[in-house]
Amino acid sequence: MRKRLLPIVLLVLVIVNAKSQPVNTNISDGIFFEGEPYLAVNPTNNQNLIAAWMGIKSTGGLYRIAIKTRASFDGGNSWSVVSALPHFGVGFGSADVSMSFDKNGLLYICYIDYKQAPDSGGIYVSRSNDGGLNWDAPSKAFDMYDVANKRTIDRPWIVVDNSDSPNSGVLYITTKPAPWIAPPNRNYFKSSSDSGRTWTSIASLDGGTHLIGNAIAAPMAAPATTSNGNFCSIYPSYVSAQNVLPAYYLATSNNKGQSFSYNTVWAALPAANDTNFKNGYLLLAHPLDSNKLIFLLPNAQNGDADIAGIHSNDAGQTWSNPIRVNDDLIANGKAQDMVWGAYNEVGNLVVTWRDRRNSNANGFWNAGYDFYYATSADNGQTFSPNQKLSSQFIGFDSILTQSGNDFMSCVYREDTLYSVWGDTRSGKMNIYFAKTIASTNTNVGITLLEGEEPTWSIYPTLVNDELDVLVREETLGQEFSVYDTHGKRVISTVITNRTTTVATGNLWSGIYFVKIGNRVKQFVKQ
């Protein structure tokens, strides 16, 4: 039997044909700020998506950032109610969420919970064994004081080894010192072999002749695990005795981080660029070929920030030159940033980003923006024409200068791209979701409705042969429709009585949507 029906908010199902305007769904609908989302997909059920993000929440009379989550079991057509992960002290706030599934469908979520003055808190990990509906009690992976004076709890990323090697199931978290800590700084990691219950001692990723140096304030490490059980991470460095140019290095370990080998990914003179742009970067490992890696980053070598991919086909020993992903005019003053990407099951690649090509203003200030994507079938050697993800051009808002909207996120399954990002189209930062058939730019989506009093109901929500529909007087005469998860209408009639019984015995088992007027409810056929 399918998963039990989730408690859901009211929603409207919208099916949009090929080459149509993209459909975006506000899945957070926060009152002021909801930012920096992360998206994960269950490897045992590609219809099970989990979105997590930072959002304002009132706790004990204090408004603080909390980590909020929603789960979907029908490929993003409907979502569970919003839940929030716990804080660990009065006045604590959360930040920097990431997630990873193991190959058996156990989901891990990692986030910071902390307070300044006095500095306290750490990085916490929680687990879900029901696809993101419920989370167990979080356990602490890093403490604020694991390294004296460095406050090692900023921008943690969690990854899981899903190989068939002896390292299978090992968790890794990378992190760096808090943003108020002046350099010299290093990046750090820990590993866990017992589902995140206990962790190794904190250790640095850089080493030997591949040190970070004394000049970089926020040396973020971008981690990944490969199909043969290696733990890899890319980080920035500038030590002139190692390389006369600033560089990115790859650290690789085949023994759970006990030792590393190092390779240079890319070295170049830094290009002048507005520091308001979000310059985060990402390392991805091919799911089937341990030799294939790609490093995605903004690159301003052409005069304005472009999205670039640097790929390796020999396990990181050598790397290509940066290959431009965005296909607008070179050096046109229109900057791209907030890069993310994902491989699908067979190793096709998608890259997503924020894009200002359609703005009348150059640079950062006053430049409106869209979101775009491109695909690659050859590990980043070439990219497809760019396509829009966002359904409208979004005007500039000064909140974009603030932290908390540094990243978007996406996952890629078969030919379907699922994307989440924060934007300000409503006058506040909220999280938007898009579901896109990548090869044809076909968009499928939903629109969540705010809570008006319902004028009709259905019973039961777990059905065999019959579904009862109960309506108010004002609903009589309206069309009643049932859709499957592909948007196909399978039942249609007109409501003529306050109580109507609908035959469902001929429907296949699965999730269905009942639509009357502008409202939709969901039921499951057993």
Cβ distance 462 to 6 under 8 Å?
no
The predicted pLDDT at position 445 comes to: 52
pLDDT grade for 62, boundaries at 50, 70 and 90: confident
Question: What is the reported pLDDT for 444?
Answer: 60
What does pLDDT average to over the chain? 90
Instruction: Evaluate if residue 174 carries a pLDDT over 60.
Output: yes
DSSP code, position 8: B
| Residue 421 near residue 408 (C-beta atoms within 8 A) | yes
Q: What is the rounded distance in angstroms from the CA atom of residue 133 to the CA atom of residue 136?
A: 10
**What's the pTM value of the predicted model, to 2 decimals?**
0.82
- Is residue 451 predicted with pLDDT exceeding 50? no
Residue 377 one-letter amino acid = A
pLDDT tens digits, 301-333: 999 999 999 999 999 999 999 999 999 999 999
pLDDT at 478 over 90: no
Contact 142, 152 (CB under 8 A): yes
Cα separation, 95 vs 66, whole angstroms: 7
> Of the candidates 441, 426, 416, 506, which has an alpha carbon nearest to the alpha carbon of residue 467?
506
Q: What is the CB neighbour count within 10 angstroms for residue 380?
A: 25
Query: 336-343 and 349-355: which strand pairing?
Result: antiparallel
Domain spans of the chain?
456-525
pLDDT in the model for residue 485: 62
pLDDT for residue 497 is more than 90: no
Token reading at 319 = 């790397």
Contacts of 148 (CB under 8 A, 6+ apart): none
Q: Is the pLDDT of residue 3 over 60?
A: no
**Per-residue model confidence (pLDDT) at position 346:** 95
Amino acid identity, residue 209?
A: T
At 134, is the pLDDT very low, low, confident or very high (cuts 50, 70, 90)? very high
CB-side exposure of 61: number of CA atoms within 13 Å? 0
User: Model confidence over 350-371: pLDDT tens digits?
Assistant: 999 999 999 999 999 999 999 9
Element (H, E) at 289: none
The CATH number of domain 456-525 is 3.40.50.2300: no
Distances from the Cα of 486 to the Cαs of 77, 99, 131, 436, 443, in angstroms?
9, 27, 21, 13, 12
Distance CA 342, CA 352 (A): 9
* pLDDT mean over 392-400: 93
Burial 493-507 (b: 16+ CB within 10 A, else e): eebeeeebebebeeb
pLDDT of residue 21: 60
Position 397 scores a pLDDT of 93
Whether 513 has a pLDDT exceeding 90, the answer reads no
Q: Which residue has the higher pLDDT, 354 or 463?
A: 354
Give residue 525's pLDDT: 85
486 against 171, higher pLDDT: 171
Mean pLDDT of the 484-490 span: 73
What is the structure's pLDDT at 11? 36
What's the average model confidence in pLDDT over 85-99? Answer: 95
Strand boundaries in 344-429, DSSP class E = 349-355, 370-376, 387-388, 409-413, 416-423
So what's the pLDDT on residue 118? 92
Q: Cβ(115)–Cβ(93) under 8 Å? A: yes
Flag whether pLDDT at 61 surpasses 80.
Answer: no
Task: Say if residue 264's pLDDT is above 80.
Answer: yes
User: How many Å is the maximal CA-CA distance in the chain?
Assistant: 83
Tell me which residue of 347, 409, 349, 338 sits closest to 374, measured CA to CA. Answer: 349
pLDDT band for position 440 (cuts 50, 70, 90)? confident
- 364 membership: H or E segment, kind and range: none
Give the pairing type, strands 519-525 and 462-463. parallel
